[in-house]
Amino acid sequence: MPEYQTFTMLQRHKAQLRDSVQLSGGIQLAAWFNSGDRVTNLSNHHTLSLYTEGGYDTWHKTPGGWRNGGAPDRFCLMPSGVESTWDLRADLAFVHLYCTEAHLRQLGEQIWDRSPASLALHEKIFADDDRITQLYRHFLLSTDWHSPANQLMLSSASTLLMTHLLQHYSTQQWQLPEVRGGLAPAVLRRVLAFIDAHLDSPLTLMQLAHEAALSEYHFARMFRRSVGEAPHQYVMRHRMETAQRLLRTTALPLTEIALRCGFHSSSHFSHRFRQLHGTPPSTWRQAMRHE
């Protein structure tokens, strides 16, 4: 897995690492808290940062002097090779996505089937983008990063974020190609069988796309056309339906059911089950036995 210079730099400063996870292909997410610190960032990779709490007294050094503009849901895009200096004078919580030019180039080749002669991202400081906020808040910040059951959602959201960067903040800004049809029936059967056979594993979008012999972008859209929901939504629903069947028809303990359905612990499984059904799985199981 790659070592990201911005991640290493923050660890040498006052920043407190709240969480971190490596996703498929080596992309990394990291959640940080920092305050009363001055840092200079210059790295060989791209960093997409979203402020989640505070940041009102965060200053960025510009040729014309220090500029303030931080706030929750503001984002900063720090491209590879571009130096930036920050003065954090009050509390700031933020989440980073780290990726390389190789990640973006590979994604561009998969989506558009061509390789750009040059690929650079534009620096953005204290900017607003509802799509970036939605992907971070709804997908990346609302779930346990370390649960195998959530890896598909995390990998899907990170791919969507990088696609958005290529579309709107790169030197290319190509329009997304239209995907008209769904998966061929035989391909869909193969993918669904693969999901069923690996329900206890941390499935990723890359794995499912590989099974269909498609790029992640085309697979995700063709899967939705065929099934009516995104891959991560289908997989989570299938996990929960399998768990319900096991609760209803077996005497397996909750921990075993959780592991079979891709949850890393019975507590995480219980939390998701309660979110969906309004009651813990143990209570639901007892109610089913008395019907």
DSSP 123-135: PEEEE--HHHHHI
Mean pLDDT of 81-105: 95
Mean pLDDT of 243-268: 91
Q: Are 100 and 46 in contact (CB under 8 A)?
A: yes
**What SS3 state is found at 280?**
coil
Write out the two tokens for 87.
Answer: 């003065």
The most confident of the ranges 91-95, 105-109, 220-224, 270-274 is 91-95
Distances (CA, A) of 139 to 59, 130, 157, 268, 285: 28, 14, 6, 16, 29
Burial category of 193 from C-beta neighbours within 10 Å (exposed 0-12, middle 13-18, buried 19 and up): exposed
Minimum mean pLDDT range among 134-138, 174-178, 257-261, 284-288: 174-178
Share of the chain above pLDDT 70, in %: 98
Q: b/e for 146-169, b at 16 or more Cβ within 10 A?
A: ebbbbbbbbbbbbbbbbbbbbeeb
Beta-bridge mates of residue 34: 92
Mean pLDDT of 233-253: 93
pLDDT value of residue 118:
72
Q: Provide the pLDDT confidence category of residue 112 given band limits of 50, 70 and 90.
A: confident
Mean pLDDT of 192-221: 92
Mean pLDDT of 196-222: 91
* pLDDT greater than 70 at residue 1: no
Q: Which of the pair, 134 or 107, is modelled with greater confidence?
A: 134
* Strand ranges of the sheet holding 84-88, from the earlier edge strand across to the other edge: 37-41, 84-88, 58-62, 65-68
pLDDT value of residue 198:
94
Q: Give the pLDDT confidence of 124-169 residue by residue, as tens digits.
A: 999 999 999 999 998 888 888 988 889 899 999 999 999 999 989 9
pLDDT value of residue 99:
96
pLDDT value of residue 265:
85
Beta-bridge mates of residue 78: 47
* pLDDT greater than 70 at residue 291: no
Provide the strand spans (E) within the chain: 16-22, 28-34, 37-41, 46-54, 58-62, 65-68, 75-78, 84-88, 92-99, 124-127
* pLDDT greater than 70 at residue 59: yes
Is the Cα dihedral 277, 132, 202, 143 positive or negative?
Answer: negative
Q: Give the pLDDT confidence of 4-43 residue by residue, as tens digits.
A: 999 999 999 999 999 999 987 899 999 999 999 999 999 9
Provide the strand spans (E) within 100-187: 124-127
| Backbone region of residue 248 per phi and psi (left: phi > 0; alpha: psi in -120 to 50; beta: other values) | alpha
Q: Are 62 and 102 in contact (CB under 8 A)?
A: no
* pLDDT greater than 70 at residue 226: yes
Alpha carbons 72 and 45: distance in angstroms, whole number: 24
Write out the two tokens for 202.
Answer: 């941390």
* pLDDT greater than 80 at residue 178: no
Torsion of Cα atoms, 174 then 50 then 30 then 210, to 10°: -30
**What SS3 state is found at 206?**
helix
